């Protein structure tokens, strides 16, 4: 309860900030964009989004916080601090009937090129496929791209990517963790990633592999055909500048 009350004031007290983690091209390791990851700086210390995003969702604050994230990322793009950004969208935000219109308003207010922005949604946002189809079409019409985050960890993976207009697939760390290990588990993990990449290729989706922590992982994932890599090996989430 106390934390929820504090979260209410986090925006006006200027306690929210974004960390950015680089996403690199798998072939050349060049930074192609950044994922925005929210942080809450309280007087008592940093609170993880794993803790306060669920709180924001249950307290009806996620709409406000989500738009704050989008606006800040758009401003950082506009000021040239970064070239491309992806922003995580909660399933609850995505469900709001005014969501696409709100996004449009932020884009217009800030004056950012929608081409520079990716919205990351999880499969749980797509459970209502008919609703998702409408929202995705609206967002697409704004010129944004959509990434399916944490691919493979939800319920609806295959039907979602088969029927919905997403452009990017992010392979969850649970699939990439063992890739590159010189063990049977490593070989199996690589085969799973390969088959996901083949599926994505057939659907003309770009693939980002997440959770890349070692050069062995990076090498194997690159050879498996992933287009982009992200993880501590290339850079941890950090403030800009």
What does 180 interact with, of Mn ion, Na ion, ligand G, none (CB < 5 to 8 A by kind)? none
155 lies in the site for ligand G, by CB under 6 A: no
Q: Which residue is nearest to ligand G (CB)?
A: 231
35 lies in the site for Na ion, by CB under 5 A: no
> Which residues in 181-200 contact ligand G (CB under 6 A)?
none
Q: Which residue has the tokens 């996403």?
A: 23
Cβ–Cβ < 8 Å for 150, 172 = yes
Cβ–Cβ < 8 Å for 226, 171 = yes
37 lies in the site for ligand G, by CB under 6 A: yes
25 lies in the site for ligand G, by CB under 6 A: no
150 lies in the site for ligand G, by CB under 6 A: yes
Cβ–Cβ < 8 Å for 158, 198 = no
> Which residues in 73-112 contact Na ion (CB under 5 A)?
none
> Which residues in 58-97 contact ligand G (CB under 6 A)?
69, 88-90
46 lies in the site for ligand G, by CB under 6 A: no
93 lies in the site for Mn ion, by CB under 5 A: no
Among 149, 161, 222, 229, binds Mn ion (CB under 5 A): 149
Strand positions, DSSP E, the chain: 16-25, 31-42, 45-47, 85-88, 117-121, 145-151, 168-171, 206-209, 228-230
Q: In terms of DSSP bridges, do strands 31-42 and 45-47 run parallel, antiparallel, or are they unpaired?
A: antiparallel
């Amino acid at each position: 309860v106390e934390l929820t009350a504090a979260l209410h004031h986090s925006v006006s007290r200027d306690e929210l900030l974004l960390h950015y983690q680089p996403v690199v091209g798998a072939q050349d390791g060049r930074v192609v964009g950044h994922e925005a990851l929210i942080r809450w700086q309280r007087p008592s210390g940093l609170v993880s989004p794993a803790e306060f995003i669920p709180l924001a969702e249950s307290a009806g604050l996620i709409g406000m916080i989500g738009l704050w994230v989008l606006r800040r990322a758009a401003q950082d793009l506009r000021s040239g601090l970064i070239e491309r950004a992806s922003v995580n969208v909660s399933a609850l935000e995505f469900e709001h009937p005014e969501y696409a219109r709100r996004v449009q308003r932020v884009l217009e207010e800030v004056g950012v090129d929608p081409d520079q922005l990716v919205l990351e949604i999880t499969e749980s946002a797509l459970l209502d496929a008919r609703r998702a189809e409408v929202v995705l079409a609206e967002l697409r019409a704004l010129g944004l791209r959509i990434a399916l985050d944490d691919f493979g960890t939800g319920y609806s993976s295959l039907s979602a990517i088969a029927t919905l207009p997403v452009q990017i697939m992010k392979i969850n760390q649970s699939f990439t963790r063992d890739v590159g290990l010189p063990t049977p588990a490593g070989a199996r993990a690589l085969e799973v990633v390969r088959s996901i990449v083949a599926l994505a290729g057939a659907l003309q989706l770009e693939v980002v592999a997440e959770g890349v922590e070692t050069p062995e992982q990076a090498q194997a994932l690159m050879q498996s055909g992933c287009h982009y890599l992200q993880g501590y090996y290339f850079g941890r989430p950090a403030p800009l500048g």
